[in-house]
Amino acid sequence: MTGGVAPLSAAWAPVVALVLLAGAVVAAALDGALHSVPAGRAGRARPGRRRTVTGAVARLLRQRRRVPVAADVMLWRIGVAALPVAALLMAAVLPLGRWTLVDWSVGIVWFNAVDVAVWAAVWLAGWGPNSAHALIGGYRFLAQALAYELPLMFALTAPAVAAGTLRVGGVVQAQQGLWFVVWMPVAFVVFCLGVAGFSVWGPLSAPAGADIAGGVLAEASGVDRLIVLAGRYLLLTAGSGFAAALFLGGGAGPLLPDWLWMAVKALAVLCALVVLRRRLPVLRPDRFLEAGWLVLVPATLLQLLVVSVVVVAR
């Protein structure tokens, strides 16, 4: 009863971490490349403002860490470190082609629990530095989380109901005939929005917004900043992997091996999220709260109703 995926031994954990890191580097490189291309005028690159991943990493590693007065350093560090750890914990139950690190019977609930742990992480990263801008960023994240989390939960429920299992491998296998994105598009879109939410990304990046001097990033410098930024990209990558597994059929596809299809699909979602970041405006958390509860919650509930009726009738 492994649902078509074989569990790997724990010795493979570093490999899974490296795969996740590779995805994050690709996303960061793409974002850096897009930065030098102004939106709408693709022909005219911004001179002298090319940003490379290695350059940014080297700069942050050399930079000295600043710690504001009376900062709660312990909570701050816990919050910062929890972001990449959360991404790794998500990746642990993600089937990469025919292999998965842990083929857990409650994989989807686990994913959900870890993305809720990001609430604590971002709030602590905002609280820790004892800085007004960072604190506002932390509160913005929680306000936003209250709006995206419930729709995200219902969006996660839809594939689980359709597959009749909470095992991620089982959900992948249930899509042999038809990808879930085809008959649950609303859940897919809301799921991707949720991924942007817990990665503090694109339209939901107000907690790290420029209007509050970088919010939760305002005081993070040096290696702390590097870990937070890397954590965001890692979460984005893990979330894209889950989007591929839950809605795009995981490793299913012709000719190519399973792991390659999985990588292609996850990268496609990841690149779409990175590109859309520069195409969509940042939503105001207070506005998004109402939209989340009045539009997204009913929409995902209707989607869930459709899925449930189909499952019962089938």
Partner 1 sequence: MGVLSTVAFWVLAAAAVAFGALVFRVDSMARATYCLAASFVAVAVVLLLFRQDYLGVVTALMMVMEMAIMAVYMVMFMGMNPALMPMSMVHGRRTALALSAGLFIVLTAGILLVPWPSRRDAPVADVTHALGESIMGHKMLVMLTVSPVLFATIVAALVLALPRGRYDRFGDDLRRRPPADPQPGGVGR
HEC string of 41-79 equals CCCCCCCCCCCCHHHHHHHHHHCCCCCCCCCCHHHHHHH
Considering only 288, 303, 304, 307, the residue that binds partner 1 (CB under 8 A) is 288
Considering only 56, 102, 116, 271, the residue that binds partner 1 (CB under 8 A) is 116
Cβ distance 91 to 241 under 8 Å? yes
Considering only 113, 256, 302, 305, the residue that binds partner 1 (CB under 8 A) is 113
- What are phi and psi for residue 67, nearest 5 degrees? -125, 115
Q: What is the DSSP string of 174-233?
A: TTSSS-HHHH-HHHHHHHHHHHHHHTT-GGG-GGG-GGGTTGGGSS--HHHHHHHHHHHH
Q: What is the DSSP string of 232-273?
A: HHHHHHHHHHHHHHHHS-TT--SSS-HHHHHHHHHHHHHHHH
Which residue, 83 or 145, has its beta carbon nearer to partner 1? Answer: 145
The strand pairing partners of 100, in sequence order, are: 7
CA distance 220 to 230: 13
Rule CB under 8 A: say whether 85 interacts with partner 1: no
Degrees, nearest 5: CA angle 211-273-227: 65
The strand pairing partners of 6, in sequence order, are: 99
CA distance 3 to 107: 12
The single-letter code of the amino acid at 129 is P
Rule CB under 8 A: say whether 180 interacts with partner 1: no
Residue written as token pair 């299913």: 252
Comparing C-alpha atoms, which of 28, 22, 54 is closest to residue 277? 28
Stretch that binds partner 1, among 41-49, 199-207, 208-216, 283-291 (CB under 8 A): 283-291
Rule CB under 8 A: say whether 282 interacts with partner 1: no
How crowded is residue 150: how many other Cβ atoms within 10 Å of its Cβ? 17
Which residue, 179 or 288, has its beta carbon nearer to partner 1? Answer: 288
Considering only 45, 61, 294, 302, the residue that binds partner 1 (CB under 8 A) is 294
Six token digits for residue 273: 């999220």
Rule CB under 8 A: say whether 72 interacts with partner 1: yes
Six token digits for residue 297: 């919650």
- Mask for 223-262, x = binds partner 1 (CB under 8 A): ----------------------------------------
Degrees, nearest 5: CA angle 111-275-242: 15
Considering only 295, 297, 299, 301, the residue that binds partner 1 (CB under 8 A) is 295
Considering only 57, 106, 161, 223, the residue that binds partner 1 (CB under 8 A) is 106
Residue written as token pair 């990841």: 270
Size of the site for partner 1 (CB under 8 A): 34
Least Cβ distance, residue 110 to partner 1 (angstroms): 5
Stretch that binds partner 1, among 53-61, 122-130, 223-231, 242-250 (CB under 8 A): 122-130
Stretch that binds partner 1, among 19-27, 114-122, 188-196, 259-267 (CB under 8 A): 114-122
Least Cβ distance, residue 273 to partner 1 (angstroms): 21
Least Cβ distance, residue 268 to partner 1 (angstroms): 29
Least Cβ distance, residue 124 to partner 1 (angstroms): 7
Rule CB under 8 A: say whether 98 interacts with partner 1: no
Rule CB under 8 A: say whether 112 interacts with partner 1: yes
Residues forming the site for partner 1 (CB under 8 A) = 72, 74-75, 78, 104-106, 109-110, 112-113, 116-117, 119-120, 123-124, 127, 139, 142, 145-146, 149, 166, 283-284, 286-291, 294-295
